[in-house]
Every structure is written in structure tokens, then in C-alpha cells.
């Protein structure tokens, strides 16, 4: 199902979009994604959620997502 979901052939639940992590990452992106996947696994409404580890790409990526999470310098941003 995950392959069909990534190709947008089937849509159910949350499609998580995360950065591959780099030196600009300012929080634990992988840990955040894992935690959100577990906590939000019961949601069946199709939506895109982006989790980006820096303020450079986070705001732009959030614009094309239903919900965007980004952070940096001990601050975080939530975009709707």
C-alpha cells in the first residue's frame, strides 16, 4: 500500500514528507517522523505532512503540504 500511496494511486491517511537530513538539521527529524507516524496512524483522511529539519527549506516545503513542521535555533514552526 505504501508504494501505491507514494505514487498517489491510493490515498488514505497521512503522506509524510521529510528531508533527508543534512548539516543544517537542527532537530531530530527521523525521531520526529517516527513519533508522528505512530501517533497519527489512525487518521484516514488523506493529507501531506512535511517535517523539515531546518528553516532554510522548511517554510517552502510547508507551502505545498497540508501541515508543515520545521525548526531551528531552539524554535519550531507549524504551518497550516
How many residues does this entry show for the chain? 80
Q: What is the pTM of this model?
A: 0.77
Q: What are the extents of the domains in the chain?
A: 2-79
Q: Distances from the Cα of 67 to the Cαs of 1, 16, 23, 78, in angstroms?
A: 22, 10, 24, 7
How many of the other CB atoms lie within 10 Å of CB of 61? 19
Which ranges of 1-80 does DSSP label H, i.e. alpha helix? 2-6, 29-39, 58-63
* Dihedral-angle region of residue 16 (phi above 0 means left; psi in -120 to 50 means alpha; beta otherwise): beta
Fold of 2-79: Sulfite Reductase Hemoprotein; domain 1 (3.30.413)
pLDDT tens-digit map of 11-58 = 778 888 888 777 778 888 889 899 999 999 899 898 999 998 887 777
> Which stretch of 6-10, 17-21, 32-36, 76-80 has the lowest confidence by average pLDDT?
6-10
Main-chain phi, psi angles of 30, to 5 degrees:
-60, -45
Amino acid at each position: 500500500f505504501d508504494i501505491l500511496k507514494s505514487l498517489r494511486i491510493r490515498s488514505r491517511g497521512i503522506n509524510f514528507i521529510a528531508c533527508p537530513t543534512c548539516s543544517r538539521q537542527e532537530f531530530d527529524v527521523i525521531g520526529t517522523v517516527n513519533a508522528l507516524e505512530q501517533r497519527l496512524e489512525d487518521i484516514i483522511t488523506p493529507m501531506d505532512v512535511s517535517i523539515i529539519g531546518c528553516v532554510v527549506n522548511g517554510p517552502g516545503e510547508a507551502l505545498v503540504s497540508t501541515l508543515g513542521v520545521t525548526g531551528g535555533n531552539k524554535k519550531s514552526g507549524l504551518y497550516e
